[in-house]
């Protein structure tokens, strides 16, 4: 048993190192003279410092929890409900600047509950993954069946991300993880500096989570979106053990495949989670937006915009394409859908997720077809372990249909 524990912890250590190195390569790789690199550098997110702070914290909590009773005897659902209500209260206080004493009390109480909330969700997510048979034998114990890596995440403000694309086409270029919580003015300045040479489009986006180890999950999400993101980021960590995940750093189709598989499978795993553990928060998104109420089809409109922009760029009409994106952004806002900026980099980033609004990539529909054919998240994921290209995906579809 001692040898197993040592080997298991060693596997986790290797995974952590890979997560740090992979994130560093993925989000900082570029030439030193790049305008985006210069713009990103003062705001770079320190991955190593984050890992040093958070990785031991969770395992110390787990050890301590062996010798203590659950906090205040609260039921798990009550703990989740209270924490999510506190997060909303904190957001309200920070937005309005009112009642600093109440804000301080809410922050302290949320900090007290955070580790237990993470522990509850991690246990429930693990149970769903086990039900789907997503167990493997981590080296050197390949004959054992466990969820690997162990589900581990931190509720925190997730990093922002600077993404670039050439102006004359939509193609994801360099990416940089930036510090969490950048304000709009700083994001706008970073974009302007990145675009100063005139040949690149840039955008700063807020991430919902990042698959370091442990994952960082944005604590500002509502509960259902939070759980979905936990599954999504765990899948990235899990897939790195297989060709699909190992090809991620190549960019292009492997990245789109990886992100899209995590999106489809994460969504379906989250649906199973909530069938087993109904949402206790009673915190739902508000009433339909004016756009939805008026029958405005945002996904269809974004897809058509992407098609129109691609056509203009193919004809060399860069300025016309940019003017159209700005015009449509304003029209979306009039319909109740606020997007800070739409440009080539915006579409390049969200194009990595073939199920996102505005995506025109056939990978998305093919993955949905494969999911229907396999019938379960576990079978769907296993069918894709070795897929690294569009041809591989077509072959997987053909095999499952035979």
For residue 162, what pLDDT is reported?
Answer: 96
For residue 10, what pLDDT is reported?
Answer: 47
Q: Which residues of 30-69 are buried (b: 16+ CB within 10 A; e: fewer)?
A: beeebbbbebbeebbbebeebbeebbeebeeeeeeeeeee
Taken as a whole, the chain contains a residue count of 402
pTM: 0.86
For residue 238, what pLDDT is reported?
Answer: 94
For residue 383, what pLDDT is reported?
Answer: 96
For residue 284, what pLDDT is reported?
Answer: 52
Query: Would you state the structure tokens that stand for residue 190, as one six-digit string?
Result: 């970073």
Could you identify the residue written with the tokens 């109480």? 109
Give the Å distances, CA to CA, from 59 to 7, 62, 63, 151, 271. Answer: 16, 5, 6, 12, 28
Long-range contacts of 324-331 (CB under 8 A, 24+ apart): 328/301
For residue 11, what pLDDT is reported?
Answer: 52
For residue 70, what pLDDT is reported?
Answer: 53
Sequential pLDDT tens for the chain (402 residues): 444 444 445 455 555 555 555 555 555 544 445 788 999 999 998 877 777 776 666 666 555 555 555 555 679 999 999 999 999 999 888 877 777 888 899 999 999 999 999 999 999 999 999 999 999 876 555 567 889 999 999 999 899 999 999 999 999 998 999 999 899 999 999 999 999 999 999 999 999 999 888 899 998 889 999 999 999 999 999 999 999 999 988 888 899 899 999 999 999 999 999 999 999 986 554 444 445 545 788 889 999 999 999 999 999 999 999 999 999 999 999 998 999 999 999 999 988 787 777 778 889 899 999 999 999 999 999 999 999 999 999 999 999 877
CA 359, 361, 365, 367: dihedral to nearest 10 degrees?
-110
Rounded CA-CA distance 254/219 in Å is 29
């Amino acid at each position: 048993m001692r040898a197993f524990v040592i080997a298991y912890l060693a596997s986790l250590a290797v995974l952590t190192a890979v997560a740090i190195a992979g994130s560093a390569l993925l989000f900082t790789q570029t030439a030193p003279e790049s305008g985006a690199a210069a713009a990103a550098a003062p705001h770079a997110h320190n991955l190593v410092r984050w890992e040093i702070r958070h990785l031991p914290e969770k395992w110390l909590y787990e050890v301590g929890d062996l010798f203590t009773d659950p906090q205040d005897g609260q039921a798990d659902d009550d703990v989740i409900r209270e924490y999510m209500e506190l997060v909303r209260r904190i957001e309200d206080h920070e937005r309005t600047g009112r009642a600093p004493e109440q804000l301080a009390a809410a922050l302290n109480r949320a900090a007290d509950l955070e580790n237990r909330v993470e522990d509850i969700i991690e246990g429930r997510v693990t149970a769903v993954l086990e039900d789907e048979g997503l167990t493997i034998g981590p080296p050197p114990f390949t004959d054992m069946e466990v969820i690997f890596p162990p589900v581990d995440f931190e509720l925190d403000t997730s990093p922002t991300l600077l993404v670039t694309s050439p102006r004359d086409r939509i193609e994801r270029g360099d990416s940089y993880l930036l510090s969490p919580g950048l304000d709009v003015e700083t994001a706008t300045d970073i974009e302007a500096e990145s675009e100063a040479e005139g040949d690149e489009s840039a955008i700063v986006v807020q991430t919902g989570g990042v698959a370091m180890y442990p994952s960082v999950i944005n604590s500002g999400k509502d509960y259902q979106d939070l759980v979905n993101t936990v599954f999504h980021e765990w899948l990235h960590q899990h897939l790195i053990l297989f060709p699909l995940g190992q090809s991620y750093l190549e960019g292009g189709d492997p990245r789109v495949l990886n992100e899209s598989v995590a999106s489809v499978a994460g969504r379906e795993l989250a649906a199973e989670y909530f069938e087993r553990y109904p949402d206790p928060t009673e915190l739902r998104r508000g009433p339909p937006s004016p756009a939805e109420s008026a029958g405005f089809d945002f996904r269809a409109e974004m897809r058509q915009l992407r098609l129109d922009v691609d056509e203009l760029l193919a004809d060399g009409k860069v300025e016309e394409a940019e003017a159209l994106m700005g015009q449509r952004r304003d029209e979306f806002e009039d319909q109740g859908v606020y997007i800070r900026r739409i440009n080539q980099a915006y579409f390049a980033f969200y194009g990595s997720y073939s199920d996102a609004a505005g995506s025109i990539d056939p990978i998305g529909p093919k993955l949905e077809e494969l999911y229907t054919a396999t019938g379960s998240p576990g079978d769907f994921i296993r069918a894709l372990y070795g897929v690294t290209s569009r041809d591989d995906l077509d072959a997987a579809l053909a095999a499952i249909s035979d």
